Amino acid sequence: MIFGRKTRDTQRTAFPKATSQQDPPKDTTAATSKTTDKSKPLSSKGASDAYKKAVEESYTTGLRDVRTTTLFRVTNFELFVKPNVIVMGLERKLHVGTKLGAMGEHITLNTGAKMPLIGLGTFQTKGEDIVHKTIESILKNGYRSIDTAGGYKNEADIGNSLKELLPKYDLTRKDLFITSKLPPKDQGYDNCRTSCMTSLENLQMEYLDLYLIHWPGTQKMKHDDVRNVQNRKESWMQMETLLKEGKLKSIGVSNYTLNHMEELLSFCTIKPAVLQIEHHPHLVQKELVEFCRDNDIHFQAYSSLGTMMEDNKLLNDPLVVEIANCYTKTPAQILLKWAVQQHIGVIPKSTNPVHIAANIDIFDFELSSLDLQRLTELDKQHHYCWNPITIV
């Protein structure tokens, strides 16, 4: 790691305002089958042996969290064989049906990099003290992935906190998965490089695990201005170069619609590894999820909890509350599980230690296919964040 210090400031208003529209496609069959169909309960004896082997493996691989968390709280031998499920950074044919704990599950990106399915969102997490406490809390709770952006103006505080906290928790840079994003004001070939280097400097890192184009448009440019197309293309080409130089391990995009994705795939020489976009039961991105699956691009959801609204319509949705009561979980845990169970990554934002602990503690239960589907059927194509549909 390189260490230094910088600070800046920004607001969500730098982006277009959220809009809403109605268009309800509803089909969860494909999404839910992946988890349930491939799961095969083991016999009690098989489960017992598998559990012992998993614990032994964990102890011998240097995965320090294993012993300090209730990783394998096997109460009833609910072990399932799930081919290619990745647990604690190891590719094992095991999924412990009770509490996975700490780092939870990973997915493997098309670059080969392993990315935790749960990361910390940091939009509007600002100020040295708050950032430091939040980072300490996530590390304690086993998060290893942090989502930030040049536009969030917290990269320097995150970098400083990590510099101090990683040794304290016996961790190194390699244990983390850090995502940052190219601000819309910095679109274009040269600007993209400068902006990425600034993020690296602020974070005091030599590489980013993932770098995303934050928004398909360029700040201060009209949505129908065709220069948006050229600018984001140039940004992408620069990101490919930065990846080849090793400064970025994986590259991707955020807030890209189907049109933007198709355009990107038509010219890129390195495919995006990730699409990050708003996705939750009130805004189900069915087409984009399928597009990503078909093209080996990881789909990552943001605003899974309905953003920082005062009167949170998603967390308070009566069905979400009903299902939460049914599983003795919180509405937030149900919303996160709904995505993660479908292999969709989530990056819940929180500065509250109780929420931080709860948001990663979602591996000791499975939603039934019916409940997954009922949640998906809440879709009303409502954006709580911004809607990129008007960007040419």
Ligand X SMILES: NC(=O)c1ccc[n+]([C@@H]2O[C@H](COP(=O)([O-])OP(=O)(O)OC[C@H]3O[C@@H](n4cnc5c(N)ncnc54)[C@H](OP(=O)(O)O)[C@@H]3O)[C@@H](O)[C@H]2O)c1
Which residue in the set 11, 44, 70, 352 belongs to the binding site for ligand X (CB under 6 A)? 352
Residue from the set 104, 116, 121, 184 that interacts with ligand X by CB under 6 A: 121
By beta-carbon proximity to ligand X, the closer residue of 134 and 204 is 134
Under DSSP, the state recorded for 95 is E
Report the residue number whose CB is nearest to ligand X. Answer: 121
Residue nearer to ligand X on the CB measure, 75 or 328: 328
The secondary structure of 235-295 as a DSSP string is: HHHHHHHHHHTTSBS-EEEES--HHHHHHHHHH-SS--SEEEEE-BTTB--HHHHHHHHHT
Beta-ladder partners of 253: 213, 275
Indicate the residue among 14 and 81 with the shorter CB distance to ligand X. 14
- Please tell me the distance from the alpha carbon of residue 22 to that of residue 380, in angstroms, as a whole number: 6
Q: Which of residues 27-86 bind ligand X (CB under 6 A)?
A: none
Q: Which is nearer to ligand X, 85 or 131 (CB)?
A: 131
Please tell me the distance from the alpha carbon of residue 264 to that of residue 233, in angstroms, as a whole number: 7
Candidate list 28, 303, 341, 342; residue touching ligand X; CB under 6 A:
303
Cβ(237)–Cβ(189) under 8 Å?
A: yes
For residue 105, the surrounding DSSP H or E stretch is strand 105-108
Q: Among residues 241 and 351, whose Cβ is nearest to ligand X?
A: 351
DSSP 184-198: GGG-SHHHHHHHHHH
Q: Is 330 in the site for ligand X (CB under 6 A)?
A: yes
Select the residue interacting with ligand X from 35, 111, 122, 160 (CB under 6 A).
Answer: 122
Nearer to ligand X among residue 34 and residue 355 (C-beta) = 355
Q: Is 256 an annotated catalytic residue?
A: no
- Residues between 179 and 218 that touch ligand X (CB under 6 A): 214
Please give the single-letter amino acid code of residue 71.
Answer: L
265 binds ligand X (CB under 6 A): no
* Given 204, 276, 285, 376, the residue binding ligand X (CB under 6 A): 276
As given in the structure block, the two tokens for residue 321 are: 């509350």
* Six-digit token string for 97: 């049906």
Stretch that binds ligand X, among 49-57, 184-192, 352-360, 367-375 (CB under 6 A): 352-360
Q: Which of 261, 306, 364, 379 binds ligand X (CB under 6 A)?
A: 306
**Options 305, 323, 362, 375; binder of ligand X; rule CB under 6 A:** 305
DSSP result, 296-354 = T-EEEEE-TT-TT-SS-TTTT-HHHHHHHHHHT--HHHHHHHHHHTTT-EE--B---HH
Of the residues 51, 59, 143, 152, only one is catalytic, namely 152
Among 109, 203, 274, 347, binds ligand X (CB under 6 A): 347
Q: Is 145 in the site for ligand X (CB under 6 A)?
A: no
- Min dist CB 388 to ligand X, Å, is 9
The residue count for the chain: 392
Please report how many Cα atoms fall inside a 13 Å half-sphere around the Cα of residue 329, on the Cβ side.
25
Task: Based on the shown chain and the rule CB under 6 A, indicate whether residue 177 belongs to the binding site for ligand X.
Answer: no
Q: Across the chain, which distance is largest between two alpha carbons, in Å?
A: 64
Token pair in block for residue 262: 């198709």
Q: How many residues bind ligand X (CB under 6 A)?
A: 28
CB of 39 to ligand X, least distance (A): 26
**Could you give the residue numbers annotated as active site?**
152
Positions in the binding site for ligand X (CB under 6 A): 121-123, 147, 214, 254-255, 276, 302-308, 315, 330, 332, 347-352, 355, 358-359, 385
